Amino acid sequence: LKLLYAGILKASERWTHPIQNWNLTLSQLTIHFPDRLEKYNSL
């Protein structure tokens, strides 16, 4: 149980880091799905 708890703590640290290349990803998604991201996109 201690190892499981330590693993969860380690994984949760990675979830708090910002996503790399998010602007590029968002731009590509906007090109492929313009209608779906229109109200969420603030470019």
Per the structure block, which two tokens stand in for 38?
A: 């229109």
How is residue 20 annotated by DSSP?
T
Q: What is the pLDDT of residue 3?
A: 92
For 1-43, what is each residue's pLDDT tens digit?
Answer: 999 998 888 888 777 777 788 889 888 888 888 888 777 666 5
Rg of the chain's alpha carbons, rounded to an integer? 17
pTM score, two decimals? 0.47
Residue 23 has what pLDDT?
85
